[in-house]
């Protein structure tokens, strides 16, 4: 962040357009300008946390007050460039959510946003304080993105853009300089559609636009550190890491999702590419810590840690595996982590119940 603070100094009216053009030139797919201030969704966020819908994500309530006003990150913050980076919603669905199949998007977006920060300073001829965010700080970035004109909040809680759908990352560059803001997106274009709500395997939506994270497959396979509730394990099916179901069924994604550009850093890495759910689950259950570190270097999937992925892999094999996977799960029963052993035991029982000969029936 630059040392100088620029407050109340009007920038070149055309600077916002030039900054957005630079953002597109660096590969972002969406760009808009928002004026910072009180976050409109802060009361709803506080209510959501108070009702326990954040699950074990204790970092969310810790930053609740800072999230109430987007000017809080540093003195003099007045404007934000908000960007979207498409991650290939038209790619085939799979056992790993599309966003996590390649390199870590945080690093990719931070580099681009920091480059834009440097560009602003050169363009105005003086240091401009600023800070880049990619869902890692106390900023309600969906709020900023809507304010920057990038889309509306869908019933599945994702930001939906009318020309791109929702398969994109959101990033923000907060700046201590006045920029001409874009018109906020006011329309709700979901209409009467409830496909996302109806498709959720775990019934994680309390109501439209309200998600109980503790029931969401993405939360259960990524953020949750303990055991996956037994009553939700079957609903996870073959999803090893994350879930795209509520996005897959959205008509805006069906129509507007895009393929990844050739050679994109977000393309599936070798450990994931062209593997079905059972094959990847078997491979992960056999991994050592060194194997995991090598296979998932610079991957967002490291967030779940090896024990979390092994837990998920056991559940996946319990749902989509076969009698041939008994040996793999039996070996996992010797894992040093009781979390892995517990889920492997559940999977063995489930495979046994699903593959037992009909002659074993007690009807």
**Predicted local confidence at residue 363, as pLDDT:** 40
pLDDT of 356: 63
The pLDDT score that the predictor gives to residue 360 is 40
Q: Which residues lie below 8 Å from residue 94, measured CB to CB, with a gap of 6+? A: 101, 272, 277
Spatial distance between the Cα atoms of 13 and 122, rounded to a whole number of angstroms = 16
Q: What is d(CA 32, CA 184) in angstroms, rounded to the nearest whole number?
A: 9
Catalytic residue check, 135: yes
Q: Encode the chain (363 residues) as per-residue pLDDT tens digits.
A: 443 344 444 556 799 999 999 999 999 999 999 999 999 999 999 999 999 999 999 989 887 888 999 999 999 999 999 999 999 999 999 999 999 999 999 999 999 999 999 999 999 999 999 999 999 889 999 999 999 999 999 999 999 999 999 999 999 999 999 999 999 999 999 999 999 999 999 999 999 999 999 999 999 999 999 999 999 999 999 999 999 999 999 999 999 999 998 889 999 999 999 999 999 999 999 999 999 999 999 999 999 999 999 999 999 999 999 999 999 999 999 999 999 999 999 999 999 988 765 434 434
HSE of 151, CA atoms in CB hemisphere, 13 A: 27
Choose, from 29, 103, 135, 248, the residue flagged as catalytic.
135
Helices marked H in 97-194: 105-124, 141-147
In our burial notation (b when 16+ CB lie closer than 10 A, e otherwise), range 162-200 reads: eebbbbbbbbbbbbbbbbbbbebbeeeebeebeebbeeb
pTM of the model: 0.93
């Amino acid at each position: 962040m630059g040392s100088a603070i620029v407050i109340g100094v009007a920038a070149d009216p055309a600077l916002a357009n030039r900054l957005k053009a630079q953002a597109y030139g660096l590969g972002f797919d969406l760009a808009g300008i928002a004026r910072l201030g009180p976050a409109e969704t802060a009361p709803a966020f506080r209510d959501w946390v108070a009702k326990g819908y954040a699950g074990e994500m204790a970092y969310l309530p810790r930053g609740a007050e800072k999230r109430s006003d987007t000017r809080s990150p540093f003195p003099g913050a007045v404007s934000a460039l908000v960007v979207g980076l498409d991650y290939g919603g038209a790619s085939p669905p799979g056992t790993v959510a599309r966003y996590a199949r390649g390199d870590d998007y945080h690093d990719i977006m931070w580099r681009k946003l920091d480059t834009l920060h440097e560009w602003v300073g050169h363009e105005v001829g003086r240091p401009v304080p600023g800070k880049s965010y990619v869902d890692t700080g106390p900023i309600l970035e969906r709020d900023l993105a809507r304010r920057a004109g990038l889309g509306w909040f869908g019933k599945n809680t994702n930001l939906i853009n009318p020309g791109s759908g929702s398969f994109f990352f959101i990033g923000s560059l907060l700046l201590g300089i006045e920029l001409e803001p874009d018109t906020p997106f006011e329309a709700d274009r979901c209409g009467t559609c409830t496909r996302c709500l109806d498709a959720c395997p775990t019934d994680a939506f309390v109501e439209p636009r309200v998600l109980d994270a503790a029931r969401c497959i993405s939360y259960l396979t990524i953020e949750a550190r303990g055991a996956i509730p037994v009553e939700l394990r079957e609903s996870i099916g073959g999803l090893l890491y994350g879930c795209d179901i509520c996005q897959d069924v959205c008509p805006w994604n069906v129509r507007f999702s895009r393929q990844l550009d050739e050679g994109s850093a977000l393309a599936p890495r070798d450990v994931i590419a062209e593997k079905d759910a059972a094959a990847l689950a078997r491979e992960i259950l056999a991994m050592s810590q060194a194997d995991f570190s090598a296979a998932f270097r610079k991957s967002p999937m490291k967030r779940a840690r090896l024990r979390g992925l092994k837990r998920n892999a056991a559940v996946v094999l319990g749902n989509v595996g076969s009698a041939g996977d008994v040996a793999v799960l039996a070996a996992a029963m010797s894992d040093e982590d009781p979390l892995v052993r517990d889920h492997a035991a559940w999977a063995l029982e489930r495979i046994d119940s699903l593959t037992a000969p009909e002659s074993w029936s007690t009807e």
